[in-house]
A and B are shown apart, each in its own frame.
Chain A
Amino acid sequence: MNSNSVSVRDLSLSFGAVTVLETLNLDVKDGEFLVLLGSSGCGKSTLLNCIAGLLDVSDGQIFIKDKNVTWEEPKDRGIGMVFQSYALYPQMTVEGNLSFGLKVAKLPQVEIDKRVARAAEILQIQPLLKRKPSELSGGQRQRVAIGRALVRDVDVFLFDEPLSNLDAKLRSELRVEIKRLHQSLKNTMIYVTHDQIEALTLADRIAVMKSGVIQQLADPMTIYNMPENLFVAGFIGSPSMNFFRGEIKDKGGRKVIDVNGVDFAMDAYPARGPLEAGRKVVLGVRPEHVKVDEPGDEIHDAIVDIEEPMGADNLLWLKLAGQTISVRIAGSRRYAPGTALKLSFDMSMASVFDAGTENRV
């Protein structure tokens, strides 16, 4: 007996000659908020559609609540789904939209009214019940769309980029609401997005996908701080992680990474295995893990190229070891272009990847 809510086993899907997903495995725990993150075309929406039953899989199995639903119709899988374009039925009122699925399922009217009222209360859309979708704003529409999943009284909610059509302000508001909804309902939620902020803020666990393969499946902090490979490292974080291509060398008993003649000492780096000298690697350091004009055991000189003040933060673009790197410092600290700086790197928070396999070492 496991407590998996959704379990995808050896799932494959191909359209003709194009293979979108290949022997993919994914277990989602009961009550977990799982985010499928990736750029467009990585197969994340396809995977969600397979779980929903809107796409027939080529091979493999899908279990929801320990029941094999691979051949079940979407309505029989115990799922509710929210779409990017809201997908509200334009000719029906909000109430009609919420109750449509229940009417199709031939539930008694009393039960329908009860469930619609409850969903409307949770989402605070009672005043909108008699309106048509065309009379609602984007945020209200998406709320109704969530309500339509809510009334189905299901175990698993599927979100297909639900916030992508909203403007930035509404997006952050609804993001908080979805998180609150998950905390109060405690349903399993699978959420597809290409927005890393949404993924990091909402998820219990994130599955980063690339060309149909899950690159890393872990909690947001692990994904952010200990990316499993170069792709995950570069995909998560804005601005992107700084990468230095170099070679591991032995210098006076210390392991260092030599990047175009600049040495980075590796003493503090929590390596998984021995770092052999001569190995070609990529060193990755996030912009906020570079210290500026602070004491450190290894100091690099750099010149400010461009300064981007962002209010809370200040982003500096600098030249170091022949390449441009970004450094994030507090917004109150300002440096004019051309200023000479002393940088030190927090190697305990850095990531090192093998240049060949691109995996973490």
Chain B
Amino acid sequence: MAEVVSLNNPSVKTGLSTKLAAGPRGKKPRPMFSPRNIMVYGALIFAAAYYLLPLYVMVVTSLKGMPEIRLGNIFSPPLEITFEPWVKAWSSACTGLNCDGLSRGFWNSVRITIPSTVVSIAIASINGYALANWRFKGADLFFTILIVGAFIPYQVMIYPIVIVLREMGLYGSLTGLIIVHTIFGMPILTLLFRNYFTSLPEELFKAARVDGAGFWTIYFKIMLPMSLPIFVVAMILQVTGIWNDFLFGVVFTRPEYYPMTVQLNNIVNSVQGVKEYNVNMAATILTGAVPLIVYFVSGRLFVRGIAAGAVKG
């Protein structure tokens, strides 16, 4: 019993104890270069390099002039750093007839992405909330239909949607495209929100009902403040998904409303004159910059939200 008492005595930790026998003591040492560590870190470094190398080539190439690119050393860093390709890609690269660069497509994409993201998240979160907490009649059927919708290939629906939009007089407009994006985001977002709201303690919802809060009060005062992570997840999914969309952008809009991705394609694939690799690279990075920034800024919340949503299915 005496040893047990002395374990709680701080002086034993600092001073040398005579009670301890020689041999293993305290934390077990782990070698840095164990086979396990070499495997794990080796695999991680390889995977990181695999994905980062193309980005490196793109950045490096975009900072070179055309004469330097023609030398063919795609991995070598630029001898003379020039930002001219970036300026050209943004403001004066030609797509078809007009030569005002990617800037127009950028603003089109912004005008498409922001309303689609906001509207789809607003509707889907309320859908998910209603499905999770207010089990109305036919909720399961509604949910099943919504989920089945997520598995139908987009290509099947394109032509019917073109007709619907034409009949509504929205074909070719930004509004039409925004509506399409909102609808197509619905299944996955509703699923995401429903699962998240189901994972919140049900008693919280009951307590709020006893307190007299109704559908909207509970949603805004109780559920919303607790759901920041899942809203960030939904925002990232929608911003990257809609920003990177090519198919809907090219099908449902006219050239003056083309989103950035479509315009990028037109710049890169234009067959007239010299292939300006540096301009193409700069244009590609510019187009990919928005999702990248979104990831970097909110990545931590993204992981937390995904994990939280995955607790219950």
Say whether B80 faces chain A, with CB atoms less than 8 Å apart: no
Chain A contributes a number of interface residues (CB within 8 A of B) equal to 27
Interface presence of B160 (CB below 8 A):
no
A104 within 8 A of B: yes
Interchain Cβ contacts within 8 Å, total number: 61
- Judge whether B212 and A104 touch: CB under 8 Å: yes
Contact A105-B212, Cβ < 8 Å, known A89-B222, A90-B226:
yes
Q: Please give the distance in Å from A232's CB to the nearest CB on chain B.
A: 29
Q: Quick check: A54 and B206 within 8 Å, CB to CB? A: yes
* Given A89-B222, A91-B225, A91-B226, residue A104 in contact with residue B203 (CB < 8 A): no
Residue A83 lies at the interface, judged by CB distance under 8 Å to chain B: yes
* A143 CA / B279 CA spacing, docked (Å): 66
On whether the beta carbons of A79 and B217 are closer than 8 Å, the reply is: no
* Interface size band for B: 10 to 19
Known contacts being A89-B222, A91-B226, A104-B217, is A75 close to B211, with CB within 8 Å?
A: yes
Q: CB < 8 Å: which of A75, A80, A87, A91 contacts B201?
A: A87
- Least CB distance from B198 to A in Å reads 15
Give 17 CB contacts A-B under 8 Å.
Answer: A54-B206, A54-B209, A54-B210, A74-B206, A74-B210, A74-B212, A75-B209, A75-B211, A81-B210, A83-B203, A88-B207, A89-B204, A89-B222, A100-B213, A101-B211, A101-B212, A105-B212
Q: Which residues of B line the A interface, CB within 8 A?
A: 201, 203-204, 206-213, 217, 221-222, 225-226
Could you mark each residue 90-118 of chain A with 1 if its beta carbon is under 8 Å from any beta carbon of chain B, else 0? 11000000001100110000000000000
Please give me the residue from chain A that is nearest to B225 by CB atom: A91
Whether the Cβ atoms of B212 and A87 lie closer than 8 Å is no
> Is A85 an interface residue, CB under 8 A from the partner?
yes
* Cβ 8 A contact of B207, one of A91, A105, A148: A148
CB pair B203 A87 closer than 8 Å: yes
Measured in the bound complex, the distance between the Cα atoms of B201 and A83 in whole Å is 11
On chain B, the residues within 8 Å of A145 by CB distance are 207
With both beta carbons as reference points, the residue of chain B lying nearest to A80 in the complex is identified as B210
| Interface pairs A-B: 9 shortest CB-CB | A75-B212, A101-B211, A87-B203, A87-B207, A91-B225, A83-B203, A104-B212, A74-B210, A81-B210
A141 to chain B, nearest CB (A): 12
Q: Report whether B212 and A85 are in contact in the complex, using a CB–CB cutoff of 8 Å.
A: no
**Contacts A83-B207, A100-B221 given; 11 further ones with Cβ under 8 A?**
A52-B206, A52-B210, A53-B209, A54-B209, A73-B209, A74-B212, A80-B210, A100-B211, A145-B207, A148-B211, A160-B203
Q: A83 is contacted by which of B206, B222, B226 (Cβ under 8 Å)?
A: B206
Inside 8 A of B206's CB, which chain A residues have their CB? Answer: 49, 52, 54, 74, 81, 83, 87
Contacts of B203 in A (CB 8 A): 83-87, 160
CB of A198, distance to nearest CB on chain B (Å):
19
How far is A334 from B89 in the complex, measured between Cα atoms in Å?
Answer: 94
Bound form: Cα–Cα A49–B202 in Å: 12
